[in-house]
Structure 1
Amino acid sequence: MKEFFDNFKLEQGIELILEYGTPLVKALLIFVIGRWLIKRLLKLTRKFMLAREYDITLEKFALNLIKWLLWILLIISIIGTLGIETTSFAAIIGAAGLAIGLALQGSLSNFAGGVLLLLFKPFKVGDTIEAQGITGTIKEIDILQTKVVTFSRKLAIIPNGPLLNGNIVNFNSEGILRCETMIGVSYDADIPKVLETLRRLCT
């Protein structure tokens, strides 16, 4: 009788190992391989962005976003391998994303504008621009806003959404800033001499 119970326990143990051990091994393999793939993909993405000379702010944000998305997908895959229903997790993540999107609608517009500004670079730090009725020098470009120092030494903070959707005049893009001014001279003045004097003053 004791031998029967020992064999029964052994069979139960083997069944438990086969039932739960295999998914655990698969989950462990997925975790190890997935972690390696995430690190590899992030390394390649960093090299690509460095080669394209993307802004450091955009680089850090994009890498963090990609890392978190990949880790979420990896965790969901591991949970599914263990036999846990993942449909509810996907629904929760989708509902949370929708709620956050509705709550941060204005901020998401500024965020999208910031990403496009950092990608297409219509201006850079140090450039003098005119936008949204403000003229000044770019001090800092963030994901959500751009800081401009006006000629009167005031700090203007412009949301990136309206900034990108409006007209932007970059005074530094062509390398030479041209200025027009009116100079009056008398009718009996020596015009060639006046022009020569003005040219000498400009050089």
Structure 2
Amino acid sequence: MEAISTDKLIDLVQSYGLPLVWAIIVFIVGRIAARIITNIVVKMMQKSKVDETLVKFTKTVIYVALMVFVILAALGKLGIETTSFAAIIAAAGLAIGLSLQGTLGNFASGFMLILFRPFKVGDFVEAGGVSGIVEEIQIFSTKMRTGDNKEITVPNGQIVGTTITNYSAKETRRVDMVIGVSYNDDLKKVRAVLEDILSSDERILKDPAPTIGVSELADSSVNFVVRPWVKSADYWSVLFEIQEEIKIRFDAEGISIPYPQHDLHVVKDEVAA
């Protein structure tokens, strides 16, 4: 009986012990190798100055993919049929994917935003129906801060699916203003005053030169377009302050900015007695 028990024990060790030991060894070595490979890829990306968000995302994807391979290899050492196991994983992944289409869409959109970089943190953008300063670009969503200091989280799929306007992408911007004056005013004097206002402001660029011209003979006014170029950071301050300065100077120079008005002519018909 003792000899039979020993033989059975030896058989059990040979049948299950050694495969289990090999499976553990494969898992430990594979896990170490996965970390080493992942770190090598991360260092290469950081050396190439790839966006940090993309680096973190790639690190997670590579490590998870390698660990799945390691686990399947370890299960193979235990004699488990890994082909059927892989098929189960694939089927489960498909089911999860179908149930999380919106989330996966945001995930893919986040990858595209990180890869193509239509904007970066700190840019003022209009995207996904929202305008604000980009504070954080995440895999599933993007956080923005509005002008009145509200934080808005926008799904990346909503951003990628619409037009993206990046107001901070270029170093300079054009300020577009329309200034109306009376038909009775001297247009040459108006132009001279506008030119003097723009030339006196150091924030307004000389190249490209500002544009000043009559754009429309409207119902109640002669409309001038005033289009100076400024650095993007000066856009709003120039827009507000130049319009204020125009009003002050026009008042001092006797140039009027007319109210919208309509002339009504009444014709009285005389009826013969």
Give the TM interval when normalised to the shorter protein: 0.7 to 0.9
Report the equivalent of 1:142. 138
Amino acid in structure 1 at the alignment position of 2:123: D
Aligned residue among 55, 61, 78 for 2:57: 61
Report the equivalent of 1:201. 201
Aligned residue among 121, 132, 139 for 2:117: 121
Distance, in Å, in 2 between the alignment partners of 1:135 and 1:9 is: 77
* Correspondence list, 1:45-84, <5 A: 45-84=41-80
* Correspondence list, 1:1-203, <5 A: 6=3, 14-184=10-180, 186=185, 187-189=187-189, 191-192=191-192, 194-203=194-203
TM-score (norm 2): 0.63
Please state whether the residue corresponding to 1:201 is helix, strand or coil: coil
Distance, in Å, in 2 between the alignment partners of 1:13 and 1:191 is: 104
Instruction: Answer 1 or 2: higher relative contact order, Cα 8 Å, separation at least 6.
Output: 1
Please state whether the residue corresponding to 2:111 is helix, strand or coil: helix
Distance, in Å, in 1 between the alignment partners of 2:188 and 2:61 is: 71
CA RMSD in angstroms comes to: 2.7
Amino acid in structure 2 at the alignment position of 1:195: E
Distance, in Å, in 2 between the alignment partners of 1:125 and 1:160 is: 14
Q: Is the 8 A contact 1:54 1:119 kept in 2?
A: no
Distance, in Å, in 2 between the alignment partners of 1:44 and 1:145 is: 28
Aligned residue pairs total: 199
TM-fit CA distance, 1:79: 0.9
TM-fit CA distance, 1:33: 2.7
Distance, in Å, in 1 between the alignment partners of 2:122 and 2:79 is: 56
Q: Is the 8 A contact 1:129 1:170 kept in 2?
A: yes
TM-fit CA distance, 1:127: 0.3
Amino acid in structure 1 at the alignment position of 2:199: R
Which stretch shows the higher mean deviation, 141-150 or 14-23?
Answer: 14-23
Q: Which string of whole-angstrom CA distances, capped at 9 and with x for unpartnered residues, describes residues 100-134 of structure 1?
A: 11111011111110111112211011101122333
Could you tell me which runs of 5 or more consecutive residues in structure 1 were left unpaired when the two chains were aligned: none
Amino acid in structure 1 at the alignment position of 2:197: T
TM-score (norm 1): 0.82
* Structure with greater Cα Rg: 2
Q: Is the 8 A contact 1:150 1:156 kept in 2?
A: yes
Could you tell me which runs of 5 or more consecutive residues in structure 2 were left unpaired when the two chains were aligned: 204-273
Cα 1:120–1:92 change in 2 (3 A) is same
Quote the sequence identity (%).
40
TM-fit CA distance, 1:171: 1.1
